[in-house]
């Protein structure tokens, strides 16, 4: 691994990695049974440099912002490197957002370059939101069919400058990426992540979960996501490891990828991990009674032998069939994006497959705590990573309070929102809005949220303000969306739901017609953003002088209601 | 060549069979996340079955954001 303490920027570290590991494989891209690409670090450099030069020829300079909206594929990483090489700031956006949402964030970020894929551009180019994002001057589109008109965009494959690009150095405190943690509907939260944030986080994470040449990381989580950017790009590249991309994320192709590419690490969201567990459980349940007995005995022996620490060699020997299905090289599954149920973690650990369970948020530079497996603890989210100071603010009698973090990995602030930055980073401490406590061994246990938001099992952060716009046409006096857990605190991090609070017009009834109206609005939201119930409140909502709803006052009022009877299910 | 109506009906029949529902219990406008109570992964599994039936490949981007059978059938029809 490169000694990252010597580096000032992501671009500088990656530049050296491409030379140091020139002959190692860095990227494999597969689509179903087909392998599209297999690149060495040297090949990668040969692809990226002409693009970097092309960007520079187009006037792209230090500090300029370039956005990538792509599914996981080789060109994502090649483009990102070209942007860093040219001294740019990367704005990775979620390809699953709607085109209007993407334009809104492009406008907010001030990006002058957009790099995207043809299917995404087809949607983006016809979206009304395009008119607002006037800062975007250069648009590069990958994989566009021959002879199609690109509405002002240029072909990525043909966008090449002549000659070598000039490397542009950046300082540790300069912004490397603007990562949106939320805010598509209201107040965009663009986390300004510095080069130092990534360099420090990479050192901390790889001290627990190392990469080296020959390691293969299966990249499934979107690379715009903070976790995959770190463990599916920057981490493996600075260690000479390889990243495997799948263009088709159907469960059967993901399953096949493990043995086919001898995967060492993979990151998953809890939903996918649970699905894997379900699939394995069905197979175990299908064993004959005699085989099941032997299997259970082997699991029991494995549990006893791995009680204090993982022993991959022994586990692979004892439970060879399970491990062969995962390719026989899997060292750990990294799970993130949302809270994972302890029994799912324990299920995998008992099979000899450690799950690197942790806790983090984009604002903190990805991970704050990670399970160090010494020993494995399914009931906690692990201990703080090296370099992380974590404290519990205003703890109650049971020790539970708000988790706050101070570290070199904490973001510089929210882009263009000093007010929100000041609310979130207080005296150098990042207030996470999550509730938890430390146990006597220094492990963090999470127990709920202080903030008005939910996190789905797919790792999606949903802020109520972001979904409210779709309900604007409702024929009610006023409405507001809340996370149920925020109003009626529940000591849980799973099964979180949004509720719509409505105040009806005088004489109006909550009837079938209104319920259908609400459902129609709700169906316009992506499935994971939908509300799950309605609360009818027969009084005016408290408002500020500028007529904004006082959400915290309204939440206190709602808290006095009994949630079981107050929430009407749709 | 199938008509869109035929394709839609075949999609509905396949989904009903895949999720073990009575034939005719699904409608073109149904939101499959809500009607079937399934998550995004289960949807992907259903898509594989549909691909095999029609002998086509549906890239992930083609079905992104699709949540009703009619739109899904339209995307399939465009690739037949």
DSSP letter, residue A83: H
Has residue A510 got a pLDDT over 80? yes
Has residue B22 got a pLDDT over 80? yes
> Residue B39 has what pLDDT?
77
> Residue A185 has what pLDDT?
56
Chain centre distance of CA A308 = 30
Instruction: Sort strands A242-246 and A429-438 into parallel, antiparallel or unpaired.
Output: unpaired
Searching chain B, which residue's CA lies closest to the CA of residue A251? Answer: B45
For A552-562, the pLDDT digits (tens) are 889 889 999 98
* Of A526, A514, A524, the residue nearest A570 (C-alpha): A514
For A361-393, the pLDDT digits (tens) are 999 998 999 998 888 999 999 999 999 999 999
The matching CATH number, chosen from 1.10.1200.10, 1.10.10.10, 3.40.50.300, 2.40.420.20, for B4-77 is: 1.10.1200.10
* Torsion angle (degrees, nearest 10) of CA A138, A142, A143, A147: 10
Query: Which ranges constitute the DSSP H helices of A453-522?
Result: 464-467, 484-487, 512-522
Tokens coding A258:
């493990």
**Which residues in chain B are contacts of A523 at CB distance < 8 A?**
31, 34, 67
Q: Which of A72, A523, A570 to mutate to test the interface with B (most CBs of B within 10 A)?
A: A523
> Residue A15 has what pLDDT?
98
Of A32, A247, A251, the CB nearest to B41: A251
A251 touches chain B (CB under 8 A): yes
| HEC secondary structure over A225-261 | CHHHHHHHHHHHHCCCCEEEEECCCCHHHHHHHHHHH
At A502, phi and psi to the nearest 5?
-125, 145
Q: What is the ipTM of this complex?
A: 0.81
Per-residue burial over A424-452, b = 16 or more CB atoms within 10 Å of its CB, e = otherwise: bbeeebbbbbbbbbbeeeebbbbbbbbbb
**Which residues in chain A are contacts of B45 at CB distance < 8 A?**
250-251
Q: What is the biggest distance separating any 2 CA atoms in chain A, rounded to whole angstroms?
A: 75
For B24-56, the pLDDT digits (tens) are 889 999 988 878 878 777 888 888 889 999 999
Give whole-number Cα distances, A518 to A344, A353, A523, A549, in Å. 35, 44, 9, 20
**Which residues in chain B are contacts of A458 at CB distance < 8 A?**
39-40
Q: Burial level of A223, CB count in 10 A (0-12/13-18/19+)?
A: buried
| HEC secondary structure over A100-127 | HHHHHHHHHHCCCEEEEEHHHHHHHHCC
For A7-41, the pLDDT digits (tens) are 999 999 999 999 999 999 999 999 998 999 999 99
For A433-464, the pLDDT digits (tens) are 888 999 999 999 988 777 788 888 777 778 88
Chain centre distance of CA A36 = 25
Average pLDDT, chain A: 92
**Which residues in chain A are contacts of B46 at CB distance < 8 A?**
none
Question: Poorest-confidence range of A80-84, A456-460, B64-68?
Answer: A456-460
CATH of domain A4-24+40-203: 3.40.50.12780
Q: In what order do the strands lie in the sheet with A65-69?
A: A154-155, A138-142, A113-117, A65-69, A89-92, A175-182, A189-194, A413-414
Per-residue burial over A250-286, b = 16 or more CB atoms within 10 Å of its CB, e = otherwise: bbebbebbbeebbbbbbbbbbbbbbbbbeebeeeeee
Confidence band (pLDDT; 50, 70, 90) for A417?
very high
CA distance A442 to A439: 5
CA distance A319 to A313: 10
CA distance A547 to A565: 29
> Residue A229 has what pLDDT?
96
Searching chain A, which residue's CA lies closest to the CA of residue B59? Answer: A248
> Residue A120 has what pLDDT?
93
> Residue A493 has what pLDDT?
67
For A93-152, the pLDDT digits (tens) are 999 888 988 999 999 999 999 999 999 999 999 999 999 889 999 999 999 999 999 999
> Residue A438 has what pLDDT?
96
Q: Across the interface, do B60 and A71 touch by the CB < 8 Å criterion?
A: yes
> Residue A230 has what pLDDT?
96
Q: Across the interface, do B34 and A458 touch by the CB < 8 Å criterion?
A: no
Q: Across the interface, do B64 and A96 touch by the CB < 8 Å criterion?
A: yes
Has residue A546 got a pLDDT over 70? no
Has residue A183 got a pLDDT over 70? no
Average pLDDT, chain B: 88
Confidence band (pLDDT; 50, 70, 90) for A526?
confident
CA distance A17 to A366: 22
Give whole-number Cα distances, A371 to A8, A216, A382, in Å. 29, 21, 4
For A228-248, the pLDDT digits (tens) are 999 999 999 999 999 999 998
For A326-358, the pLDDT digits (tens) are 999 999 999 887 788 889 999 999 999 999 889
Of B60, B62, B67, the CB nearest to A249: B60
Searching chain A, which residue's CA lies closest to the CA of residue B34? Answer: A527
pTM, to two decimals: 0.86
**Domain extents in chain A:** 4-24+40-203, 454-569
Confidence band (pLDDT; 50, 70, 90) for A266?
very high
Confidence band (pLDDT; 50, 70, 90) for B23?
confident
Q: Beta-strand (E) ranges in A349-428?
A: 355-361, 366-370, 383-384, 389-393, 401-406, 413-414, 425-426
Of B33, B41, B47, the CB nearest to A272: B41
Of A32, A120, A249, the CB nearest to B44: A249
Of A119, A250, A526, the CB nearest to B61: A119
For A469-502, the pLDDT digits (tens) are 789 889 999 999 998 888 888 767 677 889 999 9
Instruction: Tell whether domain A454-569 is in CATH 3.30.70.360.
Output: no
Q: What is the biggest distance separating any 2 CA atoms in chain B, rounded to whole angstroms?
A: 32
Q: Across the interface, do B48 and A527 touch by the CB < 8 Å criterion?
A: no
Paired strand residues for A29: A37, A245
For A280-324, the pLDDT digits (tens) are 999 999 999 999 999 999 999 999 999 999 999 999 999 999 999
Searching chain B, which residue's CA lies closest to the CA of residue A519? Answer: B34
Q: What 3-state class would DSSP assign to A134?
A: coil
Instruction: Sort strands A413-414 and A332-335 into parallel, antiparallel or unpaired.
Output: unpaired
Chain centre distance of CA B44 = 10
> Residue A553 has what pLDDT?
87
CA distance A8 to A198: 11
């Amino acid at each position: 691994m490169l000694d990252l303490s010597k580096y000032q920027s992501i671009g500088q570290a990656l530049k050296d990695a491409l030379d140091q590991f020139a002959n190692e494989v860095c990227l494999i891209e597969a689509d179903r049974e087909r392998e599209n690409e297999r690149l060495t670090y040297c090949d990668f450099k040969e692809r990226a440099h002409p693009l970097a030069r092309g960007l520079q020829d187009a006037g792209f300079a230090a500090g300029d912002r370039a956005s990538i909206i792509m599914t996981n594929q080789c060109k994502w990483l090649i483009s990102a490197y070209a942007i860093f090489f040219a001294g740019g700031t990367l704005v990775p956006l979620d390809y699953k957002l709607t085109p209007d949402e993407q334009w809104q964030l492009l406008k907010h970020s001030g990006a002058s370059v957009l790099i995207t894929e043809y299917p995404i551009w087809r949607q983006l180019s016809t979206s009304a939101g395009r008119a607002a994002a006037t800062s975007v001057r250069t648009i590069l589109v990958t994989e566009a069919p021959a002879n199609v008109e690109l509405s002002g965009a240029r072909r990525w494959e043909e966008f090449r400058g002549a000659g070598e690009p000039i490397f542009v150095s950046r300082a540790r405190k300069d912004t490397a990426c603007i990562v949106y943690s939320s805010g598509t509907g209201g107040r965009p939260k663009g986390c300004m992540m510095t080069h130092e944030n990534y360099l420090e986080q990479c050192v901390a994470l790889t001290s627990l979960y190392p990469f080296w040449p020959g390691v293969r990381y299966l990249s499934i989580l979107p690379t715009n996501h903070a976790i995959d950017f770190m463990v599916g790009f920057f981490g493996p590249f600075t260690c000479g490891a390889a990243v495997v991309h799948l263009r088709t994320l159907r469960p059967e192709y993901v399953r096949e990828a493990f043995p086919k590419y001898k995967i060492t690490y993979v990151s998953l969201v809890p939903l996918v991990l649970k699905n894997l567990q379900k699939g394995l459980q069905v197979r175990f349940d299908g064993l004959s009674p005699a085989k099941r007995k032997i299997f259970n005995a082997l699991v029991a022996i494995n549990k006893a032998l791995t009680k204090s620490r993982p022993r991959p060699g022994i586990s692979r020997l004892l439970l060879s069939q399970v491990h062969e299905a995962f390719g026989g090289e899997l060292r750990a599954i990294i799970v993130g994006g949302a809270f994972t149920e302890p029994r799912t973690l324990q299920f995998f650990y008992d099979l000899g497959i450690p799950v690197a369970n942790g806790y983090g948020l984009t604002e903190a530079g990805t991970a704050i705590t990670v399970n160090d497996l010494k020993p494995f603890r399914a009931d906690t989210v692990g201990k703080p990573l090296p370099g992380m100071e974590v404290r519990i603010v205003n703890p109650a009698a049971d020790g539970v309070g708000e988790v706050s973090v101070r570290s070199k990995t904490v973001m510089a602030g929210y882009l263009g929102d000093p007010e929100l930055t000041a609310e979130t980073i207080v005296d150098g401490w990042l207030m996470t809005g999550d509730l938890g406590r430390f146990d006597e061994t220094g492990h963090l246990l999470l127990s709920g949220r202080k903030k008005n938001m939910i996190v789905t099992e797919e790792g999606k952060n949903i802020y109520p303000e972001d979904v409210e716009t779709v309900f604007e046409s409702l024929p009610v006096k006023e409405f507001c969306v809340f996370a149920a857990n925020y109003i009626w605190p529940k000591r849980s991090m799973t099964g979180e739901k949004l509720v719509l609070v409505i105040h009806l017009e005088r004489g109006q009834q909550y009837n079938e017609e209104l319920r259908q109206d609400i459902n129609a609005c709700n169906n316009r939201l992506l499935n994971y953003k939908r509300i799950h119930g309605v609360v009818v409140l027969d009084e005016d909502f408290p408002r500020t002088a500028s007529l904004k709803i006082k959400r915290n006052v309204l939440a206190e009022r709602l808290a006095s209601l009994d949630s079981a009877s107050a929430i009407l299910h749709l | 060549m199938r008509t869109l109506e035929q394709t839609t009906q075949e999609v509905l029949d396949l989904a009903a069979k895949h999720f073990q529902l009575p034939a005719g219990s699904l409608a073109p406008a149904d939101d499959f996340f809500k009607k079937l109570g399934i998550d995004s992964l289960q949807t992907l599994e259903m898509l594989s079955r549909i691909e095999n039936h029609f002998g086509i490949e549906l890239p992930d981007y083609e079905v992104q954001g699709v949540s009703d059978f009619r739109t899904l059938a339209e995307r399939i029809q465009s690739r037949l």
